[in-house]
């Protein structure tokens, strides 16, 4: 009897299953697959079938699988390499099927949005759903697609929800994103029942793309670790992907010059070869409202977890204006934790310019690889997270300590070597140290005045254990430095 009932139920469901509209997504491994898995769930909940492939992994077999019986296709190809790969693997097949498709190419400004067999209003609406991301936009996009493909009422589908153009993220907040720092700090204090002040405040600059694509685990675990260590997390992005993506729909063969910019052919030759290159930039005003309160920076240390390839000179100037430690938060996107542990390099030569070279140029320090790629989700490694957060909290507490209570150590490389030499590549070290001491005294550090002779004798005394007997003969050890220890590194190896 139960078997008959089950069989009857399946027979009733077959027409529904057979008529479910299919949506195809074509992309590459440049886009992590967690995004597509979340969309797949949203589609299933709204009676649609969503099939996706990364063409560089599955090739033409994957393309055929997802396009078979598809009523609509989305091409998610952020950069030129991804666009080329998809064109080679799927372009001919896609055009032959003559189904509507939307191409989204976020890193290619002139061709950021392309479409075929679609009205402009539909293109713009679906683009906003897709680029805005997050669960609510995934759900509304599937509602819109279902209504469109099945001839329903498109006006009944809610509009896309745009992230604030700059905001602060916390997973425990109902709204997820706070548009202002005071709003966030008030909420944080009420939730934790303590003042945010007099605690280490640790920032993370990131991209809204991570939030849109569901890559929030890295933020959630970082926030938890900071709060567990007694800190106040401020995870913020300075501009939303939607606000950066206000395109005009056009055909694939069309291209436009970005508003306010001249094309290369309109640029005088003298402009192309201007010197100096790069041009000096004015010092930026520290006015970022997401990290300043009453005109004052509240952060004690900052992590940077975002793409660094745009305007590196502007970033360099901005980070310098902060006057706090800025640490490079890095991802191991090309493999799992197991792969990372076996990797002798950690950062491939292909990614070196993007992840390390530019980061060093703009002033980021102490790069730490924190996350690995676990089935398309960026997942933190616990030991790396502990290392990073421990370092940040220590740096923050040091910044909060009065200068008069800080201990200072100075190391210099003694070159050229010699028993009586105290020079860092022929610099006058004793004179430089005297200058540093006076500057530090002016900043409130607990130093007595010091002379060049005291520095010279102090360095010789510290180097004595590694030198021949009698090296310090003639030095008045009682007159040397007791508060300032200068160590010649060459005598420590």
Q: What domains does the chain contain, in order, with CATH numbers?
A: 19-156 (3.40.50.2300), 167-246+274-396 (3.40.50), 410-491 (no CATH)
What's the pLDDT score for residue 118?
94
Average pLDDT (21-41) is 97
Residue 418 has pLDDT above 90, yes or no: no
Q: What is the pLDDT of residue 279?
A: 62
Express as a percent the part of the chain with pLDDT over 90. 63
Distance in angstroms (rounded) separating the CA atoms of residues 116 and 302:
44
Taking the C-alpha atoms of residue 335 and residue 305, their distance in angstroms, rounded to an integer, is 18
pLDDT at 231 over 60: yes
Q: Which of 66, 41, 67, 72 is nearest to 52 (CA)?
A: 66
* Per-residue confidence (pLDDT) for residue 147, from 0 to 100: 97
What are the angstrom distances between the C-alpha of 274 and each of 94, 269, 271?
45, 9, 5
pLDDT value of residue 424: 77
Q: Give strand pairing partners of 235.
A: 169, 204
Share of the chain above pLDDT 70, in %: 80
Q: What does the pLDDT average to over 117-130?
A: 95
Confidence class for position 251, pLDDT limits 50, 70, 90: very low
- Give the mean model confidence (pLDDT) for residues 395-405: 95
State the pLDDT at residue 401: 94
Q: What is the pLDDT of residue 280?
A: 63
Q: In 10 A of CB 358, how many CB atoms?
A: 19
Sequence-separated (6 or more) residues with CB below 8 Å from residue 44: 50
pLDDT at residue 25 greater than cutoff 70: yes
Q: How far apart are CA 167 and CA 263, in angstroms?
A: 33
Q: Span 34-55, mean pLDDT? A: 97
Mean pLDDT, the chain, as a whole number? 84
Q: Which of 86, 382, 94 is nearest to 222 (CA)?
A: 382
Banded model confidence at residue 180, pLDDT cuts 50, 70, 90? very high
Q: Which residue has the higher pLDDT, 274 or 424?
A: 424
Q: Is the pLDDT higher at 347 or at 369?
A: 369
* pLDDT given for residue 196 in this prediction: 97
Report the predicted TM-score, pTM, of the whole model to 2 decimal places.
0.81
What's the pLDDT score for residue 16? 44
Least trusted range by pLDDT, from 85-99, 202-216, 250-264, 370-384: 250-264
471 vs 462, which has greater pLDDT?
Answer: 462
Task: Tell me: pLDDT of 10 over 60.
Answer: no
Residue 247: its pLDDT value, please? 44
Is residue 11 predicted with pLDDT exceeding 80?
Answer: no
Tokens for 84?
Answer: 């080329």
Query: What own/partner pairs with CB < 8 Å and gap ≥ 24 does 409-418 have?
Result: 409/485, 409/487, 410/436, 410/484, 410/485, 410/486, 410/487, 411/487, 411/489, 412/486, 412/487, 412/488, 412/489, 413/488, 413/489, 413/490, 414/488, 414/489, 414/490, 414/491, 415/490, 417/490
Confidence class of residue 493 from pLDDT cuts 50, 70 and 90? Answer: very low
pLDDT of residue 271: 47
Instruction: For residue range 427-462, list pLDDT tens digits in order.
Output: 888 898 899 999 999 999 998 888 988 888 877 776
Looking at residues 396-421, what average pLDDT do you find? 84
Residue 258 has pLDDT above 60, yes or no: no
Angle between the 382-400 and 217-228 helix axes, to the nearest 10 degrees? 50
**Ranges 31-40, 134-143, 303-312: which has the least confidence:** 303-312
CA angle 313/314/315 to nearest 5° reads: 90
Mean pLDDT for 259-285 is 51
pLDDT at 253 over 60: no
Cα 99–Cα 21–Cα 97 angle in degrees, nearest 5: 20
Nearest to 95 by CA among 121, 120, 114, 122: 114
* Confidence (pLDDT) at 94: 92
pLDDT value at 172 more than 80: yes
Phi, psi of 283 (to 5 degrees): -65, 130
Averaged pLDDT, 282-309: 88
């Amino acid at each position: 009897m139960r078997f008959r009932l089950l069989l009857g139920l399946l027979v009733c469901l077959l027409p529904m299953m057979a008529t479910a509209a299919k949506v195809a997504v074509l992309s590459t491994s440049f886009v992590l697959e967690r995004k597509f898995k979340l969309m797949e769930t949203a589609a299933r909940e709204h009676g649609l079938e969503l099939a996706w492939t990364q063409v560089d992994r599955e090739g033409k077999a994957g393309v055929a699988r997802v396009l078979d019986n598809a009523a609509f296709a989305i091409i998610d190809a952020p950069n030129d390499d991804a666009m080329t790969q998809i064109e080679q693997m799927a372009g001919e097949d896609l055009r032959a099927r003559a189904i509507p498709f939307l191409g989204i190419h976020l890193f290619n400004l002139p061709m950021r949005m392309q479409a075929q067999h679609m009205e402009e209003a539909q293109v713009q609406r679906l683009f906003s759903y897709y680029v805005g991301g997050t669960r609510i936009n995934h759900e509304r996009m599937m509602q819109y697609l279902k209504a469109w493909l099945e001839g329903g009422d498109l006006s009944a589908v809610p509009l896309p929800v745009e992230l604030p153009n700059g905001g602060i993220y916390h997973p425990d907040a109902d709204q997820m994103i706070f548009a202002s720092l005071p709003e966030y700090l008030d909420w944080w204090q009420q939730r934790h029942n303590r003042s945010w002040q007099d605690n280490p405040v640790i920032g993370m600059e990131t991209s809204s793309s991570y939030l849109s694509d569901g890559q929030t685990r890295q933020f959630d675990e970082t926030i938890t670790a900071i709060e567990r260590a007694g800190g106040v997390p401020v995870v913020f992005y300075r501009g939303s992907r939607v606000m950066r993506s206000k395109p005009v729909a056009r055909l694939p063969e069309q291209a436009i010059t970005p508003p306010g910019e001249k094309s290369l052919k309109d640029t005088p030759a003298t402009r192309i070869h201007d010197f100096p290159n790069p041009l000096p930039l004015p010092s930026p005003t520290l006015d970022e409202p997401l990290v300043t309160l009453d005109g004052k920076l509240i952060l004690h240390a900052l992590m940077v977890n975002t793409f660094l390839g745009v305007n590196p000179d502007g970033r360099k100037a901005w980070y310098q204006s902060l006057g706090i430690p800025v640490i490079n938060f890095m991802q191991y996107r090309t493999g799992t934790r197991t792969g990372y542990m076996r990797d002798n390099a950690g950062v491939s030569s292909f990614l070196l310019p993007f992840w390390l070279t530019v980061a060093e140029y703009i002033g980021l320090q102490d790069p730490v690889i924190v996350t690995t790629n676990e089935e398309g989700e960026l997942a933190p490694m616990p030991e790396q997270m502990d290392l990073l957060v421990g370092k940040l909290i220590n740096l923050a507490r040091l910044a909060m300590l009065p200068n008069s209570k800080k201990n200072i150590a100075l190391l210099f490389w003694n070159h050229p070597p010699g028993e009586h030499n105290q020079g860092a590549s022929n610099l006058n070290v004793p004179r430089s140290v005297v200058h540093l001491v006076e500057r530090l005294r002016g900043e409130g550090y607990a130093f007595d005045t010091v002379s060049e002779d005291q520095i010279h004798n102090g360095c010789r005394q510290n180097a004595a254990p590694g030198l021949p007997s009698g090296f310090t003969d003639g030095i008045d050890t009682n007159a040397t430095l007791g508060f300032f220890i200068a160590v010649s590194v060459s005598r420590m190896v």
